[in-house]
Amino acid sequence: MTRVTPQKEDSQERRRYARIASLNLTAIVPKKGNAHTALVSMARTLDLSPAGARIEVHQNIELGARVELDIAIAEEITRVNGSVMHVEPLEQGGYILGIEFDETQNALEF
């Protein structure tokens, strides 16, 4: 399921890329330097752009944490590194994380 998220006309959008609503299986691992600091946790993307992703995960990962993501899109897996820029606890359990990628991922441009 992939669709462009409509942008509000009255908001001042700071993003350089359109966010695409896209549900993709994702593995996320918190890192410190090159070392993994926790076990791999499964997640799913809620939206995605070449500059970042919004994901749903069961494990709490703290704001500012460095992470490595393996995002499955169709038959391809894209590995990206980034930082947790937003953490939102969910009422039913789990968290929504906003991840900013270290580098623009042209492979994720729709």
Residue 90 lies in a domain: yes
Which CATH number does the domain housing residue 99 bear?
Answer: 2.40.10.220
Residue 49 lies in a domain: yes
How many domains would you assign to the chain? 1
Average pLDDT score, the chain:
80
For 68-109, what is each residue's pLDDT tens digit?
999 988 888 889 999 999 999 999 999 999 999 998 877 665
Q: State both tokens at 45.
A: 């993307």
Q: How many other CB atoms are there within 10 angstroms of residue 59's CB atom?
A: 15
Query: Amino acid identity, residue 23?
Result: L
Residue 65 lies in a domain: yes
Residue 69 lies in a domain: yes
30 pLDDT more than 80: yes
Section 2-6 average pLDDT: 36
Between CA 107 and CA 90 the distance in angstroms is 30
- pLDDT class of 15 with cuts at 50, 70, 90: low
